[in-house]
Homo-oligomer: A and B are copies of this chain.
Amino acid sequence: MSAPLTLHGYYRSSASFRVRIALNLKGLAYRTAPHHLRRGEQNSPDYRRINPQGLVPALEIDGQTFTQSLAILEYLDETRPQPPLLPKDSAGRARVRALAQLIACDVHPIDNLRVLNYLRGPLGQPDAAVAGWYNHWIAEGFRALEAALSTSGETGRFCHGDAVSLADICLVPQVINARTYALDLSPFPTLKRIADAALSLPAFERALPANQEDAE
């Protein structure tokens, strides 16, 4: 029996959510080590030794600890290839990675908790301005994503054809965030259709923040 997998995460963390989906899709059992981000537990010296960035997720697997959700997803896909999270052809892989990165690089980090805290703290922004910021960057990203998905013949039931990929794994947590902040999703019908299709799968549904043991 191999050592158990441990996922350092937080139920509301979108990046942790991505890794939970992938672990579920791959059928990998794991233990959760929750770090309460709003209480600052990710900044404890113990956790900083695991991840010097003090961000979640981190995944303990195969005797090592990996950080950065997209790097973890690629590692899982290389070492546990079934079902694949990337298409076989390099052009398809580039398309899927670009869709995933549109969210993981250009939307999510700008709306991350530490950034919102900086807006509230050092920049003294009121809640309304912080909420405006949050929705601005999601809407900006979703407009581009909707354009990319709705104009491509490669979009299928999911972001790339009819198989789940890294792109869907990044899309769904961002859609859930947008719903939490009551962003109107009607301008993004393709994206909403794909997120709904993904959420009908148990691997996505079980990974939802509300279904985690540390959910409040």
Residues on A facing B (Cβ under 8 Å): 48, 52-55, 62, 64, 66-68, 70-72, 74-75, 78-79, 90-91, 93-95, 97-98, 101-102, 104-106, 108-110, 112, 114-115, 118-119, 122-123, 125, 129, 132-133, 136, 140-141, 143-145, 147-148, 151
Contact = CB atoms under 8 A, between A and B. Distances in A.
Contacts of A101: 68, 70-71, 104-105
12 contacts: A52-B144, A52-B145, A52-B147, A53-B102, A53-B144, A55-B106, A62-B91, A68-B105, A71-B98, A74-B97, A118-B136, A123-B125
A53 B144 CA distance: 5
Contacts of A119: 123
Given A68-B98, A101-B104, A110-B110, 11 more contacts: A52-B145, A52-B148, A66-B95, A68-B101, A70-B97, A72-B94, A74-B93, A104-B105, A105-B105, A118-B136, A123-B123
Contacts of A105: 68, 70, 101, 104-105, 108-109
Contact of A75 (B54, B93, B136): B93
A132 B121 CA distance: 13
B94 A66 contact: yes
Tallying the copies of this chain within the complex gives: 2
Contacts of A66: 91, 94-95, 98
B91 A118 contact: no
Given A70-B105, A129-B123, A75 B90 contact: yes
A205 to B, nearest CB: 26
Contact of A122 (B75, B104, B132): B132
A46 to B, nearest CB: 14
A143 B64 CA distance: 22
Nearest to A146: B52
Contacts of A62: 91
A63 B153 CA distance: 16
